[in-house]
Structure 1
Amino acid sequence: MTNGALEPAAGGGARLKKPEAIVFDMDGTLFQTESLLLPAYHKMFDILREEGLHSGPTPPEELILGSLGQLLAQIWKNVMPGADESVHRRADDLLLQLEIEGLEAGGTLLYPGVPETLAALRARGVRLFVASNGLQDYIHSITVVHKLGDLFEGLYSAGGQGTATKTDLLRILLDNHGVKSAWMVGDRSSDVEAGKGNGQTVIGCAYAGFGKQEELKGSDRIITNFNELIALYDEAE
């Protein structure tokens, strides 16, 4: 599936075309994940130690921050490579519970300009979606707590759809909603792969700092502030 989203621009570059939809990753793109994740991460390991499922210190924060954007199964292989599969599944349940509790308690953050930019794009007639490798209840809770729900036409998660890759997840989203042209906006290589794997334009986000810069290789544009999306859309053909 390809949409011819890019055309050669004067001077040999590539000119963006206005999409009918924009699909956003959640962690590191819309949501400042560390504002919620790190307190929950430390509490989770306290509980795992209490339950006799983990011994020793909590693994370095860098291990989980560097794994954001991956499926949870892979994240725990990075963070707790020697642990049994049952410990990984217990970690799934605990982290989700603690993150939802943290969201409801308040104090978590979106990136600057997210609500205003999403509202401006919606006002321009753009259909907005989320496609995340996170769990369904987690993604839903973020949109509810931060009052973003009315802006999105659909929330898609690997946990909700049971997909093995974000490329598959995006394909389901596009097919379900009849979307032919979209921008995939995200901060990790999985977002680039998902967009390109479905013949769509990719906007890489370079402001979160979780991944390495080379992860965004192949993006059609790279932004360093979320609100740059408005100018990109307005200047597109």
Structure 2
Amino acid sequence: MKIDAVIFDMDGTLFQTDRILELSLDDAFERLRLNGLWEGKTPTSKYREIMGVPLPKVWETLLPCHSAEVRESVNEHFLERLIDNIQSGKGALYPHVKEVFTYLKEKQLKLFIASNGLPAYLESIVNHYGLDRWVDAAFSIEQVHSLNKSELVNMICDKYDVKRGAVVGDRLSDITAAKDNGLLAIGCRFDFSQEQELIQADAIIEDLMELVDLFLVVDDLNPSPACK
């Protein structure tokens, strides 16, 4: 049975988050500095290491000694700055996103986004770049109580009756979500990816256009049975 749906990660897979990450993070930590709640440089490199985890986990890691109230305030400001930077055109999609989406829709595949980003952030990217022309639905990790991407992907499979699909993403959470649900795991060797994570994928790409050729031979990759 051929692939009938593709579930894409957003950050570091479809959207070049790196273009707005440092700007937005600097703004958030500058606010902490002004309030006497942070000293030193913005921990951008640490954030890059954990990119792909839900935002609550991000702030627990970056601000381990701060209160839940401070983390929530920083999270809100960071989200505002991310959205402002998206809407002002400082971000960008990865090359060939729209071409690949057009090709996959012509093949009558269902397309979804499963993101660890918050709903407002995800919606701002989808709207700014008009991705809803191709994407059947976009889902935030906040739509599952566990904040677990495997559960989010399973929800998509159940809701849209995905029988044989693939998950395309750059981090281990994407690869794990695919394997936990019996889907093909396609790792993206992009900005935030890590080799020790990518080697667990069924296939690795360095450009989204490689998906075109990959899905032509996908039956030879022998993906596992469909979603649970």
- Name the CA distance, whole Å, in 2 between partners of 1:108 and 1:72: 19
Q: 2:47 aligns with which of 60, 64, 67?
A: 64
Aligned length: 219
CA contact (8 A) 1:135 1:160 kept: no
3-state SS, counterpart of residue 59 of structure 2: helix
CA contact (8 A) 2:153 2:181 kept: yes
The residue that corresponds to 1:117 in the other structure is 100
- Give the aligned residue type for 1:97: E
- Name the CA distance, whole Å, in 1 between partners of 2:101 and 2:146: 26
**Identical positions, percent:** 32
Q: Report the alpha carbon displacement of residue 69 of structure 1 after superposing the two structures with TM.
A: 0.6
- Name the CA distance, whole Å, in 1 between partners of 2:63 and 2:193: 19
**1:180 corresponds to 2:163:** yes
Runs of 4+ displaced beyond 4 Å: none
- Give the aligned residue type for 1:234: L
The residue that corresponds to 1:159 in the other structure is 142
- Give the aligned residue type for 1:58: K
Q: Report the alpha carbon displacement of residue 68 of structure 1 after superposing the two structures with TM.
A: 1.0
Aligned 1:46-61 pairs, distance under 5 A: 46-52=30-36, 54-61=37-44
**1:222 corresponds to 2:204:** yes
**1:146 corresponds to 2:129:** yes
CA contact (8 A) 1:184 1:191 kept: yes
Q: Report the alpha carbon displacement of residue 33 of structure 1 after superposing the two structures with TM.
A: 0.5
1:83–1:50 Cα change, 3 Å: same
Aligned 1:30-49 pairs, distance under 5 A: 30-49=14-33
- Name the CA distance, whole Å, in 2 between partners of 1:38 and 1:119: 31
- Unaligned segments of structure 2, at least 5 residues: 220-228
Q: 2:177 aligns with which of 174, 191, 194?
A: 194
CA contact (8 A) 2:29 2:38 kept: no
3-state SS, counterpart of residue 155 of structure 1: strand
- Give the aligned residue type for 2:62: V
TM-score w.r.t. length of structure 2? 0.91
With 142-151 and 43-52 compared, the bigger mean Cα shift is at 43-52
1:85–1:58 Cα change, 3 Å: farther
- Unaligned segments of structure 1, at least 5 residues: 1-16
With 42-51 and 128-137 compared, the bigger mean Cα shift is at 42-51
- Name the CA distance, whole Å, in 1 between partners of 2:179 and 2:70: 35
How far does the alpha carbon of each residue in 1:57-115 deviate from its partner, in whole angstroms, 9 at most, with x for none?
23331111111110111111222222222111112111111111111111211111111
TM-score w.r.t. length of structure 1? 0.88
3-state SS, counterpart of residue 23 of structure 1: strand
